[in-house]
């Protein structure tokens, strides 16, 4: 695992947590931290263990092994203290669709013990914050998916939590609704909240989040700043090289060379893509190796990887 943590007392501290369902190890000794007032992405493919981790953090599921502290409180013992300070938005809308937006928020405000006049004030505030003022009396069942997500977010904000835990909030949203949701989250961060947001698409969170944890098959593959992830990418540069003839023999020879992380043909004729470890090789040394292998070079250029490629490099193939 690559790590690039900052030195602040964490809001969420996960140490060596494991969890199994009927013998299937959903989490295999995961550790990472989320720092105050960060917008922290939690990214992994389907079945990676994101929802399981979120449920443990928000005290809905007890970890079978390891330690989880939220605001310094143990999730096993301090359920009440933690629940008072967090808001969890699950990946599906709950079953209260036959209520108006106001009734729905009022119901949750009452459940949090707010008095009627407090609730009126809070509901006005959260509707403004989520840009839903005009929808106060709309039936939830008649709202678009994007609007329902905002109601769900408004509900989470009713008890003014310090930590928001959002499970795939952008899934199923059209691009505009997604951008608007991201803007609301940025505003909440400016208000001093810590936001932990899961997604299976890294590029979706790249602009939004300052830090990120990547999970795959119950293992943490990276946890740290978004910049650190991009630097990781820079330590493993990728070059696209076109030769005068098909590169198969050169690919076979390069594959065994120290410092070569990956070498493969691309769909284009005579072109190969080479990924190497910057701490062992550099581009001139790579070029020299190809020439020494009698490769005649037509073109040699750096292939700027997309963030999605960094994600693919860190995670394994196949659907779980």
Ligand X SMILES: Nc1ncnc2c1ncn2[C@@H]1O[C@H](COP(=O)(O)OP(=O)(O)OP(=O)(O)O)[C@@H](O)[C@H]1O
Q: Which residues of 163-173 are buried (b: 16+ CB within 10 A; e: fewer)?
A: bbbbbbbbbeb
Q: Phi and psi (nearest 5°) for 250?
A: -70, -40
Of the candidates 8, 21, 128, 183, which one interacts with ligand X according to CB under 6 A? Answer: 21
Residue 148 and residue 140 in contact, taking contact as beta carbons nearer than 8 Å: yes
- In the DSSP assignment, the letter for residue 296 is P
Binding mask 51-90 for ligand X (x = CB under 6 A): xx--------------------------------------
**Which lies closer to ligand X via its Cβ, residue 44 or residue 161?**
44
Q: What angle do CA 288, 291, 297 make, to 5 degrees?
A: 110
Binding mask 85-124 for ligand X (x = CB under 6 A): ----------------------------------------
Give the interface segment with ligand X, choosing from 18-26, 94-102, 138-146, 222-230 (CB under 6 A).
18-26
Is residue 320 part of the contact set for ligand X (CB under 6 A)? yes
**Which lies closer to ligand X via its Cβ, residue 22 or residue 80?**
22
Is residue 10 part of the contact set for ligand X (CB under 6 A)? no
Give the interface segment with ligand X, choosing from 43-51, 141-149, 157-165, 296-304 (CB under 6 A).
43-51
Residues sharing a CB contact under 8 Å with residue 236, sequence separation 6 or more, in sequence order: 261, 275, 276, 277, 278, 313
Q: Would you tell me which residues interact with ligand X (CB under 6 A)?
A: 21-22, 24, 26, 44, 46-52, 200, 320
């Amino acid at each position: 695992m690559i790590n690039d943590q900052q030195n602040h007392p964490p809001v969420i501290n996960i140490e060596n947590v494991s969890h199994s369902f009927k013998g299937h190890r959903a989490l295999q000794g995961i550790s990472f931290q989320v720092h105050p007032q960060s917008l922290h992405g939690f990214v992994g493919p389907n079945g990676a263990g994101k929802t399981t981790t979120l449920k443990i953090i928000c005290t809905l599921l007890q970890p079978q092994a390891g330690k989880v502290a939220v605001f310094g409180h143990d999730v096993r013992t301090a359920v009440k203290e933690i629940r008072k300070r967090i808001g969890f938005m699950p990946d599906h809308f709950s079953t209260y669709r036959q209520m108006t937006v106001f009734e729905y928020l009022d119901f949750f405000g009452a459940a949090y013990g707010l008095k009627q006049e407090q609730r009126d004030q809070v509901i006005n505030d959260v509707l403004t914050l989520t840009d839903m003022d005009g929808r106060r009396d709309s039936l939830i069942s008649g709202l678009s998916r994007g609007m329902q997500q905002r109601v769900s977010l408004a509900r989470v904000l009713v008890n003014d939590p310090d930590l928001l835990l959002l499970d795939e909030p952008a899934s199923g949203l059209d691009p505009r609704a997604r951008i608007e949701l991201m803007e609301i989250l940025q505003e909440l961060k400016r208000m001093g909240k810590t936001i932990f947001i899961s997604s299976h698409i890294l590029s979706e969170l790249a602009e939004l989040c300052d830090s990120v944890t990547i999970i795959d098959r119950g293992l943490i593959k990276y946890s740290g700043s978004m910049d650190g992830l991009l630097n990781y990418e820079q330590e493993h540069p990728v070059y696209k090289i076109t030769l005068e003839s098909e590169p198969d023999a050169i690919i076979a020879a390069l594959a065994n060379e120290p410092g070569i992380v990956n070498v493969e043909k691309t769909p284009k004729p005579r072109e190969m893509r080479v990924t190497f470890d910057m701490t062992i090789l550099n581009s001139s040394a790579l070029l020299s190796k190809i020439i020494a292998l009698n490769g005649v070079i037509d073109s040699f250029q750096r292939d700027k990887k997309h963030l999605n490629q960094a994600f693919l490099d860190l995670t394994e193939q196949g659907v779980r």
